[in-house]
Amino acid sequence: MLRIIDNSLLTIRLEFDCVSGKICIWLLNPDTGGTLEVHRLVSNRFS
């Protein structure tokens, strides 16, 4: 399952890994240089 929430300030990508049972949350924040700063948060709550 993949869900992307996008607005002008922040893009949030939610991804569920069926194999490992983990939820990955990617926060894609464009900076002034035009690149993406990516943070990956992994939750083991459902494993």
pLDDT for 36 equals 46
Model confidence at 4, pLDDT cuts 50, 70, 90, reads low
pLDDT tens, position by position, 18-39:
777 777 777 666 554 444 444 4
Compute the average pLDDT of residues 9-15: 70
Q: Counting Cβ atoms within 10 Å, is residue 1 exposed (0-12), middle (13-18) or buried (19+)?
A: exposed
Question: In the chain, how many domains are there?
Answer: 1
Question: In the prediction, which pLDDT does 6 show?
Answer: 59
Q: pTM for this structure?
A: 0.37
Domain that holds residue 37: 2-41
Flag whether pLDDT at 16 surpasses 70. yes
Q: Is residue 47 assigned to a domain?
A: no
Residue 7 counted as domain residue: yes
Q: How many contiguous H segments (helices) and E segments (strands) does the chain have?
A: 0, 4
